[in-house]
Amino acid sequence: MSTDQTFYGSDFGALSSFDPDIAGVLLSELDRIRGGLQLIASENMSSPEVLTALGSTLSNKYAEGYPGRRYYGGCSEVDKAEQIALERCTALFDAEHANVQPHSGASANQAVYGAFMKPGETILAMSLPHGGHLTHGSKVSFSGKWFNAVHYGVDKETENIDYDQVTALAREHRPKVICAGGSAIPRLIDFEFFRNLADEVGAIFWVDAAHFIGLVAGRAIPSPVPWADVVTFTTHKVLRGPRSGALVCTAEHAAALDKAVFPMMQGGPQMHTIAAKAVNFKECATPEYAAYATQVIANARQLATSLGEHGIRPTTGGTDTHLSLHDLQGVGVTGADAEVRADAAGIVLNKNAIPFDPQKPNVASGIRVGTPCVTTQGMGTSEMVTIADLIATAVIKGDADPGHAVSQQVRAEVSELVTRFPAYPRP
């Protein structure tokens, strides 16, 4: 290995001399992250090691193809990075095969359609308003425009997946692919049920694990890998890696999915991001990461319970994962108002439709909160009680105006909390 580490790519001093505008944005974004509470369930704070790999010269390399089978010369070093990432990914998830090239969760999902479906064929997936995802057949996405999407939802009473409806729809429509997973599902999914149903109707079983794959990596919840034909995921949520995607699958489907990622859906892979994924998979295999994943869930449970005590009702009664979805109708606030009031007080969260929501999606009756970031900062369950108090005060009594007395008071308390639990602590 070269010992010359004087230049590996990330030279902030050079950037700030050449381009103070963008250097300023990088610094002020760091200030923003450090200065508030980050409760977006799909975000996290990746390590300096991951960020170093991202800011490297591997970004320069064209490497279309796969390790040992590239369409360009000069791939010896990036081949090593991808091979290491593949080995770590398959080991982390006990998978038969991995593909670490998808640029995002949406790209990984495209590969599933590419591998298994022809335009016009049927997919059965969770509806977006009930917690699914745009790429699961929404009319505004390629998936709903080019494929026949049939959607299941949640039961009105339990607010959990309506498994009877899933069964009835699968038997009626005989889909080519059945998908489980989404972006606002607080509860564990019964993967064995979906496997058996897919076998009964002759469908491929796809799990979109983008949200919860980090909890699987940390062995904090059951894995979909033994049940699914293919599991797609993002690498930047609970998993805490670079902003990107990946998939794991059975050996039977490896060739079809590899061809669907490249050359069907993507061109040149982003080798710097693949190297960063390799670093992240190594991090996820440590006992520290397993403890983190367990704490993420404990924190999410506490946050959901404490918000419920303020009348901000958790749908399904709570959570088994890193996120909870809350119905604000009992406190007479919309999701959109809650989002701006929280933001004015230094708390970043998102409005979210709740199942059977009477509001339009851009207003919504709910909020979604998640604990990946605050757990990375070292906070525990007692801090979640405090955060619930702060959210409730900002949302119920606060205002969109950052100058409002309640916004200022909550922001001061947020500031005190994040000073004790800093993001990206200084050495």
Query: Given the rule CB under 6 A, which residues bind ligand DSN?
Result: 42, 105, 133, 183
**Least Cβ distance, residue 132 to ligand DSN (angstroms):** 10
CA 306, 307, 311, 316 torsion: positive or negative? negative
Decide the pairing of beta strands 366-370 and 323-327.
Answer: antiparallel
Nearer to ligand DSN, 215 or 271 (CB): 215
Q: Which two tokens stand for residue 57?
A: 């010269």
**Least Cβ distance, residue 409 to ligand DSN (angstroms):** 29
Nearest by Cα to 227 from 247, 199, 255: 199
**Least Cβ distance, residue 247 to ligand DSN (angstroms):** 15
**Least Cβ distance, residue 106 to ligand DSN (angstroms):** 7
Nearer to ligand DSN, 260 or 369 (CB): 369
**Least Cβ distance, residue 309 to ligand DSN (angstroms):** 26
Whole-number Å distance between alpha carbons of 276 and 259:
23
Nearer to ligand DSN, 58 or 216 (CB): 216
Nearer to ligand DSN, 69 or 145 (CB): 145
DSSP reduced 3-state for 3: coil
Which residues are known catalytic residues? 62, 64, 208, 234, 237, 243
> From start to end of 172-236, where are the E strands?
177-180, 204-208, 230-234
Nearer to ligand DSN, 133 or 351 (CB): 133
Nearer to ligand DSN, 42 or 235 (CB): 42
Q: Which residues pair with 177 in a beta bridge?
A: 123, 204
Nearer to ligand DSN, 105 or 308 (CB): 105
Sheet-wide strand order for 313-314: 313-314, 323-327, 366-370, 350-352
Q: Which two tokens stand for residue 358?
A: 């009477």
For the chain, counts of helices (H) and of strands (E): 16, 15
Please say whether the beta carbons of 239 and 205 come within 8 A: no
Identify the burial level of 252 via C-beta atoms within 10 angstroms of its C-beta, where 0-12 means exposed, 13-18 middle and 19 or more buried. exposed
**Least Cβ distance, residue 184 to ligand DSN (angstroms):** 7
**Burial state string for 329-366 with b = 16 or more CB within 10 A and e = fewer than 16:** beeebbbbbbbbbbbbbbbbbbbbbbbebebeeeebbb
**Least Cβ distance, residue 133 to ligand DSN (angstroms):** 6
Please say whether the beta carbons of 310 and 303 come within 8 A: no
Please say whether the beta carbons of 414 and 31 come within 8 A: no
Whole-number Å distance between alpha carbons of 118 and 410:
52
